C-alpha cells in the first residue's frame, strides 16, 4: 500500500470514520491497521500524487465492479457501458461503397430530370430581333427630337 493511501486512511481513522476506514481496509486487502495517524511534525504528501494514486485505484475499482457485474449476470448501466469498447472507424468500407453508389444514382436522376427540362425549352440567344431593335431606335430618335424641340 502506498504512503499516500496510508496517510488518507490515517486521516479517516483520525476523523473517527472507523466504518469507512474498515471498508477501505477490507477492499484493499489489509487485515490490520499498520499505521499511526499523522502527527503535527510529519510533512503532508503532495496533493497531486495522492490524487494520481486515487485515480489509479478508482480505475481498478471500476474494472473490479465491471467484472463482478459481468460474472453475476446483472445488467449494470454505468459499469458495463464504460467497459464496452467504442467503435472507432465510423463507417465500414462496404457502407461507404453503398453510400457512394446511392449518391451517384441520386445525382444521375437529378441531372437527367434537369436536362430533360432544358431540352424542352429552346434557348434564346439574343433578346432583340432586328425588327424590334429598329422600332426601339426610331422611338428613341423621336423622344430626343421632342426634347430638343422643347429646349430651344
Return the ∠ at Cα 24 (arms to 78 and 30), rounded to 5°.
125
Question: Tens digit of pLDDT for each residue in 41-70?
Answer: 555 567 788 888 899 999 999 999 888 888
CA dihedral for 6, 8, 11, 13, sign (positive or negative): negative
Question: Tens digit of pLDDT for each residue in 21-32?
Answer: 666 666 666 555
Cell 469498447 sits at which residue?
Answer: 85
The end-to-end CA distance of the chain, in Å, is 114
Amino acid 136: pLDDT:
95
**SS3 state at 85:** coil
More confident site: 19 or 32: 19
CA dihedral for 84, 66, 68, 75, sign (positive or negative): negative
In terms of C-beta density within 10 A (0-12 exposed, 13-18 middle, 19 or more buried), how is residue 58 classed? exposed
Amino acid at each position: 500500500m502506498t504512503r499516500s493511501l496510508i496517510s488518507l486512511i490515517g486521516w479517516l481513522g483520525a476523523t473517527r470514520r472507523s466504518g469507512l476506514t474498515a471498508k477501505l481496509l477490507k477492499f484493499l486487502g489489509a487485515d490490520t491497521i499498520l499505521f499511526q495517524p499523522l502527527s503535527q511534525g510529519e510533512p503532508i504528501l503532495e496533493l497531486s500524487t495522492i490524487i494520481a494514486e486515487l485515480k489509479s485505484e478508482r480505475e481498478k475499482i471500476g474494472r473490479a465492479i465491471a467484472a463482478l457485474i459481468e460474472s453475476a449476470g446483472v445488467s449494470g448501466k454505468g459499469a458495463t457501458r464504460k467497459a464496452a469498447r467504442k467503435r472507432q472507424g465510423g463507417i465500414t468500407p462496404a457502407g461507404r461503397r453503398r453510400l457512394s453508389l446511392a449518391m451517384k444514382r441520386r445525382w444521375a436522376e437529378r441531372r437527367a430530370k434537369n436536362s430533360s427540362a432544358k431540352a424542352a425549352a429552346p434557348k434564346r440567344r439574343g433578346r432583340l430581333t432586328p425588327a424590334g431593335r429598329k422600332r426601339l431606335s426610331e422611338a428613341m430618335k423621336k423622344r430626343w427630337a421632342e426634347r430638343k424641340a422643347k429646349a430651344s
